[in-house]
Amino acid sequence: MSVEKLNTLLTTMKDRINLLDSSIQEVFLKRLIAENDEQYNSYTNEINELDKQKEITKKELVILQNTLPKHIQTLVADEISNEIVPVVESNEDQFYVPEKMPTFRNGSGSIQDIDEFIVVFENCLKMNGLAPITHGTRLISNCLSYSDLQWLQNRSPKNATWAEVAPYMREIFGDPEKEAKALNLLWTAKIYKKSKNKIETTQKNAMH
């Protein structure tokens, strides 16, 4: 295969990745104005499918690069390689959606506690090379039901960062009595321990 044909093939694959990016962006914007759960889930599935196609194309691009003869790689390197590497290697993509993201109170297997969810959510992003502070606000919509997402959007600033959104989520979805319940449980445990010690002391004294 000539250098010209290889160049054309690589360019075609890069164009496909860019086209998929544009499609993901378009569907992502549509999802922001979804009118119901069914429509919202449909857009989410479409985004995930487009993202899978994009990842497959990226992998094919890497394979093609790695199988090029050494002398061909040298000939096309200056013109192509610098453009390809960021596309296939970087996950810092404003439309990248990790697979198997955790969900919050949204279907079977979802996390019910907001504090636990935020920890798992942030860890998921980090494991995929994404900084929560940069991508948290964008990707949180993939983890919430339509109604919860609307609830969050209506109660947090429009351009809020993840550092601002996370506390809003704790406030909105957290159990207002959680801390009180924990303190009550701790207090009950202390009372029980004191009572138990007192009974044991009384029994020992009675035996003497």
pLDDT score, position 89: 38
pLDDT in tens, 112-171: 999 999 999 999 998 888 889 989 999 999 999 988 998 898 888 888 899 999 999 998
Give the separation between CA 68 and CA 45, rounded to whole angstroms.
Answer: 35
Q: Is 117 exposed, middle or buried (0-12, 13-18, 19+ CB in 10 A)?
A: buried
Query: Which 8-state DSSP code applies to residue 93?
Result: -
Say yes or no to pLDDT of 196 above 70. no
| AA letter at 201 | T
The C-alpha atoms of residue 8 and residue 14 are separated, in whole angstroms, by: 10
- Over residues 11-30, the mean pLDDT reads 85
Does the reported pTM lie above 0.85? no
User: What pLDDT band is residue 8 in, cutting at 50, 70 and 90?
Assistant: confident
Residue 82 has pLDDT above 50, yes or no: no
Q: Is the pLDDT confidence value at 18 over 80? A: yes
